[in-house]
Amino acid sequence: KQEVTQIPAALSVPEGENLVLNCSFTDSAIYNLQWFRQDPGKGLTSLLLIQSSQREQTSGRLNASLDKSSGRSTLYIAASQPGDSATYLCAVRPIQGAQKLVFGQGTRLTINP
């Protein structure tokens, strides 16, 4: 059974710092991995999607990497801003039971001005 873990559960950093959020998964048989952002009381906003054959994806200040063999992904946020404060979720689409995403519990990020 696929399990996704995100550590730490919460992170607080001063504005301007570069930071890394971690995601690990137990089964490397995945189609893809997706990073989302969730603001309090709001929906999920897709940030980046990495296919299983890819190593990384970039969008603006965000860079996501994928090491499928070790079951790890990282989300790198450069030059953090207070507006980046949110909960970040990673989700994998497993090959077994492919019609759903398996989510981690998320990392709650706070950027202090």
Question: Mapping DSSP to helix (H, G, I), strand (E, B) and coil, where does residue 18 land?
Answer: coil
Contact with other proteins (CB under 8 A) among 11, 19, 44, 62: 44
**Residue 58 binds to other proteins (criterion: CB under 8 A):** no
x/- string (CB under 8 A) for other proteins, residues 3-42? ----------------------------xx-x-x----xx
**Residue 90 binds to other proteins (criterion: CB under 8 A):** no
Name the residue nearer to other proteins (CB basis): 13 or 44: 44
Transcribe 75-106 into DSSP letters. Answer: EEE-S--GGG-EEEEEEEEESTTTTS-EE---
44 by Cβ neighbours in 10 Å (0-12 / 13-18 / 19+) ranks as: middle
Q: What's the CA gap between 32 and 43, in Å, rounded?
A: 21
Name the residue nearer to other proteins (CB basis): 46 or 112: 46
Q: Which residues contact 53 (CB under 8 A, 6 or more apart)?
A: none
Contact with other proteins (CB under 8 A) among 22, 28, 51, 74: 51
CB 74 within 8 Å of CB 11: no
Binding site for other proteins (CB under 8 A): 31-32, 34, 36, 41-46, 49, 51, 89, 91, 98-101, 103-106
